[in-house]
């Protein structure tokens, strides 16, 4: 089943994100290699493709896991979670309608 992981950043997260980015991306790339990653990316803190020093306010990850508990366990072990980038995380079951 698909799960949408919606994570909200702590204020001023950009330095933490920068420091932990490679480990976070490596985990996403592993899911992509397994064919389980549907999409992932950050929410810019301002309305711009490159938010510069404003940084990001959170992230969205849509991924295939056997269960919601598995999705929660995965994000709990992510460097962004472990090192304080994310202050709040919600894992929602997700039904993809479009694109088919």
HEC states along the chain?
A: CEEEEEEEECCCCHHHHHHHHHHHHHHHHHHHHCCCEEEEEEEECCCCCCCHHHCEEEEEEEEECCCHHHHHHHHHCCHHHHCCCEEEEEEEEECCCCCC
Q: How does strand 2-9 pair with strand 37-44?
A: unpaired
Answer whether CATH 3.90.1150.10 is correct for domain 2-94.
no
pLDDT digits (tens, 9 = 90+) for 70-82: 999 999 999 999 9
Domain boundaries, the chain: 2-94
- What's the rounded Cα separation, in Å, for the pair 66 and 88? 22
Given a cut of 90, is residue 98 above it in pLDDT? Answer: yes
Given a cut of 90, is residue 100 above it in pLDDT? Answer: no
- What's the rounded Cα separation, in Å, for the pair 67 and 20? 26
Q: What does the block give as tokens for 3?
A: 């799960």
pLDDT digits (tens, 9 = 90+) for 39-58: 999 999 999 999 999 999 99
């Amino acid at each position: 089943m698909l799960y949408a992981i919606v994570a909200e950043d702590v204020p001023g997260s950009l330095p933490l994100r920068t420091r932990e980015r490679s480990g976070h991306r490596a985990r996403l790339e592993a899911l992509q290699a397994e064919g389980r990653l549907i999409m992932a990316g950050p929410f810019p803190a301002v309305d711009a493709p490159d938010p510069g020093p404003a940084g990001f306010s959170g992230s969205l990850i849509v991924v295939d896991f056997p269960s919601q508990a598995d999705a929660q366990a995965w994000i709990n072990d992510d460097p962004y979670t472990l090192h304080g980038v994310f202050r709040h995380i919600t894992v929602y079951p997700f039904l993809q309608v479009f694109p088919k």
